[in-house]
Amino acid sequence: MADAYQLQNGAGDKKPLLELYVKASGIDSRRIGACLFCQEFWMELYALYEIGVARVEVKTVNVNSEAFKKNFLGAQPPIMIEEDKQYTDNRDIEGRIFHLAKEYSVPLFEKDPAVEKRIESLYRNFKLFVRAKTDFDKGKKTSQVPSDIDSLPAAIKIHYNRIVEQLASVDQLLSDRQTRYLLGPSMTEYDCELMPRLHHIRIIGQRLLGFDIPHNLTHLWNYVLTAYRTAAFIESCPADQDILHHYKEQLNLFTNQRETLQSPTKTHTLPESVLDEIKRLGLDRK
């Protein structure tokens, strides 16, 4: 087990202490891994911590270590512990956070069908595209460079088109609402779900697939910028190298030693032309 990330809000011992165990990096067990559910729950807990509802400790765990296997008997991160109660099912973790938010009137779990419709299958479509395109690129033994999107067979490009359509739909929603987050001025569970997934789409798109979020989706990019300025996201975000390593492991792709020895970096900046347009429209001042 690696170092703990402690969030102590000074609210006193009467506030519940929630310990969240997240998957460690596959490169360095002292670093945060790229588990999306781990980051999602971490962001939700951070929202409770920020307003003094709970004390929070986040700990990285090496799932292959004997100590972890012995202590958690086959459970996989994310895992949450509150006093002597252990939550190992994602639904139970979400349920406990939900009840705490409801008890203290924290608007973290407001429902919005319009948002749900736009984000519910985005990441699933992205995973389909990742698998199809990397398999296609593996068949091209002449180059290590990802194939151009326009050169893809129609059966693979359809996944890409679906992703772009959904990203454009979220961009339009943000344009219509003119809000920092999906529902308004405050972060909700939808942001805790979408922000990490958008970041994965961006990093893996750039480093593995040869594409980026379309630069003309200005309101979506401003939302990405909001993520990069949100403490809950910054605190819980893994390094670019750990995100890339996570996907390469899942796809059985070769990872060279140079990649694992790189100093960890986090891409929390925007393309210059996109940032200029955001500033021109005044979106960054919301």
CA distances, 205 to each of 22, 28, 90, 167, 191 (Å):
24, 23, 27, 13, 20
Pairing outcome for strands 55-61 and 17-23: parallel
What pLDDT, on a 0 to 100 scale, did the predictor assign at position 120?
92
Tell me which residue of 255, 140, 229, 115 sits closest to 221, measured CA to CA. Answer: 229
- Kindly report the average pLDDT of the chain as a whole number: 91
What pLDDT, on a 0 to 100 scale, did the predictor assign at position 27?
92
- If you search the block for the tokens 């006093």, which residue do you land on? 83
pLDDT tens, 52-79?
A: 999 999 999 999 888 898 888 889 999 9
Phi–psi pair at 82, nearest 5 degrees: -130, 110
What pLDDT, on a 0 to 100 scale, did the predictor assign at position 39?
98
Ranges under pLDDT 70 in the chain: 1-13, 141-144
What pLDDT, on a 0 to 100 scale, did the predictor assign at position 18?
97
Q: How far is Cα 77 from Cα 192, in angstroms, rounded to an integer?
A: 17
Partners of 57 in beta bridges: 6, 19
Angle of helix 189-204 relative to helix 240-251, nearest 10 degrees? 80
Contact by Cβ (8 Å): 283, 218? yes
Reading the block at residue 217, the tokens are 């989706």
Name the 3-class secondary structure at 157: helix
210: exposed, middle or buried (C-beta count within 10 Å: 0-12, 13-18, 19+)?
Answer: middle
Angle of helix 189-204 relative to helix 36-50, nearest 10 degrees? 140
Contact by Cβ (8 Å): 168, 217? yes
pLDDT tens, 131-150?
A: 999 999 887 765 567 888 88
Q: How far is Cα 135 from Cα 129, in angstroms, rounded to an integer?
A: 10
What pLDDT, on a 0 to 100 scale, did the predictor assign at position 233?
98
276: exposed, middle or buried (C-beta count within 10 Å: 0-12, 13-18, 19+)?
Answer: exposed
Q: Note if the pTM is more than 0.85.
A: yes
